[in-house]
Structure 1
C-alpha cells in the first residue's frame, strides 16, 4: 500500500487498512479464562470512531493532551486511534508508574482526560494511585479497567455513533508526548510529530525478514510497555504501517501460552528474557545433547524445530534485542538455532530509530550501523550524535533544554558514549555522565565491564560503582532461582566459586585501574517496584549507588573476591 507524502501518517495508514481489509483480524486479546477476543480492522475502526465522537462532544480545545494509563491491551491501541481521530494528542503513562510520576505527567502535560486500563493489583492498584489524579479530571475506563466506578468504554460504544469525518492531521502536527522513563529526575516530555512516527517505518524495513521488510502476514506479540518508544514503534506503529496482526499478553503467568498462540514472525525482547529462554531450554535439554544433535545434519532440523517450537518462535523470521548488551553465549545459541538476534539502539527522542544490526552483518558487542537516512557522528568527547527521520519536535515546555540537546548543525546529543568500527557499526561504551573517577584519580566507564559480567547465567543485572573508592566493585542482582538456592551452604559455595572465576576472567580484560576489587551479590532484588529499575528494566544507577554507598568502602577493603550481602 502506498501513500502520497502529504498523507503519510499512521492515521492515514489505519484508515486505508480499515477500508481495504475490514474483515481481517487486527488485534487478538486474551482473557482471564484463557479465551480470546479478535478485533477486525473494521471493528477497531468502528470502536475508535465511536470514542472519537464522544471526545469531540466534550468540546475540548484542538490538540488537547489525553492520557492513556494502563497495561497493553487491544483497547490501548484503539484509544490511541480514537484520540488521533478526534484531533487530540495522546500521552501514554507506564502502568507501573508510581503516584508521584502519574501526578507529574498529568500536570506537566495539562491532560484534559485520561483513559484508565488494567493495572498491577487491579482495584487495589488503582486505589493506591487515585489520589494522584486530579478530582476534576474526566476519566474513561477501558474494558477490564482497574477502576470500577465512573464512565465505561462500553457505555460510550452503546450511545455514540461512529465519527464520519475524522480530523486528518498534517504531517508536522504533534501526535504524542512520550515521557521518558529516565533514571534520574522528572521524566521529560518528548514531542513526536505524525511525520516522525510514520517516517521511521520505511527506514526500518531493512531490519526485517533478512531485509525483505514486513507485510500483512506478519504477527507481533505485545508485552513490553506500549508507553515505551520501542514497543510503540515495533508493535503499534509497525502494525499500522504494514497492516499486520497484534497479539497481546494477558499476564506473566500466561506468557508462554500467549507466545505460542501468537507464534510471532517478529519478536522483540530484552536480553533478560532472551537469556531466560536460553537457560530454561538448557535445563530441559542438556547443552551436550543439543550440541550433538545440531552437529548432525540429519538431526539438526528436528532439534531446531523442537526448541523453537517449545518457545513459540518457530515462525520468527526476525528477533530483535535492545536496552542492554546481549551476552555472547546467548547470541551464539540462537544463531545455532537459525534465529540471528539483531541488537539495536534508539531513543525516545528519535522514535527508537538510530542504529540496528542487519542479518549477516552482526558483530557481537555492537548495535549495528546507522539505519538509512540516519546521520551519526562521534563527538570529540566520545558522545554519540545522531539525526534521523524520527527526530522529536523537542521537549514539551522545555525550550532551553531542547536547544541544548542539539549541535549547531542539528544533530541530537544522545548523552551516550560510543565508537564506530571500520564498517560503521556502533558500540555503546556508556553514558557521558556515567564515567566516574576513583580515589586514585582514574576514570572508569562502567558499561563495558557490566556487559562482561552479564555473560554469566546467574547474573540478571549488574552495576559497577567506584566514585571515591581505591578500586571499583561490581554489584550483582542474581536470578531468582539462584537467589533461592543460596540458602544452601554447598550451593552458595559453588556459586561463590563461579563468581570468583568470573571476576578473574573479567578483570583480565581491563586495565589495572578498571579491575574490580570484588563482586557483591546484593540481598534485595532490583525491581521497578523498589525504584532500582526503570519501567524498561534499565538500572537506576544513581539510586543503586546511593543505596550501597555506605558499605562500598568496607566491601572494597575486605580483600574478599565475592561477598554475599
Structure 2
C-alpha cells in the first residue's frame, strides 16, 4: 500500500501510473460524463494558471461554492496546483452568509459550480474574479469551459506538508461559523491512516453525495480518491440519488443517521417488518432476500459502512445487521480533521464510536469532556486567536465540547454536548442527547429536540416522519405517548418527559434549523420556541400541536 506526503504527490503518482483511468463520473441528463486522471489534471492546471493570470499569488485564498460534482474535485485540484488555499462554502448558504465568509476569509477569487439557486446567492459575492461552470448553467465573469480550451505553460506548485491547505468554515450548531485552518500534513496523516485501518483498496469505487465542504466527505471521499487512485461518482439530483447509488455499488459508504433511517423506511414501505421477519427466518430464502435488498440499496460491494455526525441508535444497527450490513460509528470534527475515534470492521461495538485511531491520544476532563491530541489538529481559527486559545488545554489537547464515557475495553461513547445541557426551573441539569437517541427508535419521529429551560420538567419538540404523519393524529399521538411512557420509567425524576409538542414547520437546512450535516441547530430552535414553553407546558393535552395555536 503506497503512502504519500501530500495530496498532490498522491494524485500525480496515479496520474503517471495510468493517466487514462477514469477519475470522475458526473451524471448529466441520466448519462455519466467521464473524466480521466489526465482530463482532470489538464483542466485543473489551466484553471490554476488562469487564477495566476488574474493576479492571484501563491498563498492567496480561493473560495469554492458548489454541490458535489466532478468540478468540485477539479476546482480543488486547481487550487492546490496553483499554490492557493481553498475556502469551501456550503452550497445551501444564502447570499448574506456567503458574503460574510468571503469577506472574513479574505478570498481573492471564487469558483462556482453546480448549484440549485445561484441567482439568489450571487449578490452575496463581492467584486472578486468569479469562474462559473457552463455545464451546470453557471454563467459568470469567466467560464471554466472557455479557460480550459486555451493552452497553458503554467507549472504546478509543489505542496509542502507544512503549508496551509484550507480554511473550512464549520456549519456551527451554535454561534457563527468559524474558519478552521488545516495544514497539508493534517490531511495527509488522516488520509494515510484511514486508508490503512479501513483497508481501502487502490482504485476503488466511491460515491460522493454528502457536502464536500464538510470535513468527513472531504477526507473520506475526495482525499481517499486522490491517495488510492480511486474513481468518484456523483448523484445527479436528490430524486435520482437511489438510482445513481445503486448503479455505482461503491466499495465504501458513509452516511449520517437520518439517511440510514430513510433507507430503512424505504425498505419497509415495500416489505413490511412482519413480512421481512418471516422471509429472513426461512433458510435459503433469507439469503436471496438480503442480497436483493442490499443490492437495491447500492451497498452490495461496500466493505465499510460508516455513520457519523450524530448518534446512531443501536436498534438501527441491529436492524441492518440482520441484512448483513454492519454499520461502524465514527467520531470526529473539523477541528481534529476527523482523526479521532472509529469503530472498524474488525473491532465494532454497537452504541459506541470506537477506539482512538493510530496517532490519537484521548482522555476525559474532570467534567467528562472528550479531549483529543494528534498531529492533525487544526492550526487554529482564522483571525480568531482568542477563540483558538479557548479550544485547547494547557497541555495541547483539543476541547471537543462533547461529553463522553470510556468502557472497560476502551470504546468511547458520546453522552451529550456540554452546551446542549439545559437546566429546568427546579435547578436540575438535563443532558438531552441520550434521551433523544432512545426516542429516535420510533420511526414515526423524524427529528427530536428535548428542551426545558424555564419549566419544571422537560418537553420534547417533534417533527413526525412521513410514516408518522400518514397514521393520522390519533394513531400518531398514541405512538408518541407509547415511546414516552416506555422511556420515562428509565429516567431520573427531573428528566422525565412531561409533554410532546408536534411542530408545524419542518426543520431544514434552508430555514437554518438543521446543519448541512443534518444535526439540529438547538440554539436556533430554542431561540424561536422558548417563549412558548410555558404555554405548552400548561396545556391539558400530553401531545400538543403547534398548529392548533
TM interval, shorter chain, is over 0.9
* 8 A Cα contact 1:462 1:477, kept in partner: yes
Q: Which residue of 2 aligns with 1:531?
A: 512
* 8 A Cα contact 2:129 2:141, kept in partner: no
Secondary structure at 2:135 match in 1: coil
* 8 A Cα contact 1:206 1:358, kept in partner: no
Matched residues in 2 for 1:268 and 1:476: separation? 26
Q: Which residue of 2 aligns with 1:556?
A: 537
List per-residue Cα deviations over 1:482-507 (Å, max 9, x = no partner): 33x36xxxx21111111110011121
Q: Which residue of 2 aligns with 1:127?
A: 119
Secondary structure at 1:267 match in 2: strand
Q: Is 1:159 the equivalent of 2:150?
A: yes
Query: What is the deviation of 1:458?
Result: 1.3
Q: Which residue of 2 aligns with 1:409?
A: 395
Query: What is the deviation of 1:23?
Result: 1.3
* 8 A Cα contact 1:319 1:342, kept in partner: yes
List per-residue Cα deviations over 1:424-452 (Å, max 9, x = no partner): 11111111121111100111001111111
Q: Which residue of 2 aligns with 1:171?
A: 161
Q: Is 1:30 the equivalent of 2:27?
A: yes
Q: How is 1:299-378 mapped onto 2 (pairs within 5 angstroms)?
A: 299-378=285-364
* 8 A Cα contact 2:133 2:139, kept in partner: no
Q: Are residues 438 and 554 of structure 1, via their aligned partners in 2, closer, same or farther at CA, if it must alter by over 3 Å?
A: same
Q: Which residue of 1 aligns with 2:105?
A: 109
* 8 A Cα contact 1:75 1:143, kept in partner: no
Q: Which residue of 1 aligns with 2:13?
A: 16
* 8 A Cα contact 2:255 2:308, kept in partner: yes
Q: Which residue of 2 aligns with 1:495?
A: 476
Matched residues in 2 for 1:282 and 1:360: separation? 29
Secondary structure at 1:23 match in 2: coil
Which one of the candidate residues 233, 251, 254 is aligned to 2:240? 254
TM-score (ref. length: structure 1): 0.94
List per-residue Cα deviations over 1:10-55 (Å, max 9, x = no partner): 1110111111121111111000x21111111111111111112212
* 8 A Cα contact 1:178 1:227, kept in partner: yes
* 8 A Cα contact 2:444 2:479, kept in partner: no
Secondary structure at 1:159 match in 2: coil
Secondary structure at 1:112 match in 2: strand
Q: How is 1:159-558 mapped onto 2 (pairs within 5 angstroms)?
A: 159-161=150-152, 163=154, 165-205=155-195, 208=198, 213-483=199-469, 485=470, 491-558=472-539
Matched residues in 2 for 1:45 and 1:356: separation? 33
* 8 A Cα contact 2:391 2:399, kept in partner: yes
* 8 A Cα contact 2:328 2:342, kept in partner: yes
Matched residues in 2 for 1:126 and 1:269: separation? 26
List per-residue Cα deviations over 1:323-374 (Å, max 9, x = no partner): 1122233211211111100111100011122111122533332111111111
Query: What is the deviation of 1:63?
Result: 0.5
List per-residue Cα deviations over 1:281-316 (Å, max 9, x = no partner): 112112233223323332222111111111111111
Q: How many residues align?
A: 546
Query: What is the deviation of 1:57?
Result: 2.0
Secondary structure at 2:107 match in 1: coil
Q: Are residues 207 and 143 of structure 1, via their aligned partners in 2, closer, same or farther at CA, if it must alter by over 3 Å?
A: farther
Matched residues in 2 for 1:387 and 1:448: separation? 26
Gaps in structure 2 of 5+ consecutive residues: none
* 8 A Cα contact 1:271 1:321, kept in partner: yes
Query: What is the deviation of 1:557?
Result: 2.5
Matched residues in 2 for 1:297 and 1:353: separation? 42
Output the aligned Cα RMSD.
1.5
TM-score (ref. length: structure 2): 0.96
Q: Is 1:46 the equivalent of 2:32?
A: no
Query: What is the deviation of 1:509?
Result: 1.9
List per-residue Cα deviations over 1:117-175 (Å, max 9, x = no partner): 1212xxxx2222222111x2100002434532421101100113263x31112101100
Q: Which residue of 1 aligns with 2:73?
A: 77
Matched residues in 1 for 2:212 and 2:453: separation? 36
Q: Are residues 319 and 547 of structure 1, via their aligned partners in 2, closer, same or farther at CA, if it must alter by over 3 Å?
A: same
Q: Which residue of 2 aligns with 1:148?
A: 139
Matched residues in 2 for 1:16 and 1:205: separation? 16
Secondary structure at 1:433 match in 2: coil
Matched residues in 1 for 2:18 and 2:176: separation? 43
Secondary structure at 1:385 match in 2: strand
Matched residues in 1 for 2:192 and 2:129: separation? 37
Secondary structure at 1:362 match in 2: coil
* 8 A Cα contact 1:503 1:561, kept in partner: no
Gaps in structure 1 of 5+ consecutive residues: none
Secondary structure at 1:257 match in 2: helix
The answer to which of 86-95 and 153-162 deviates more is 153-162
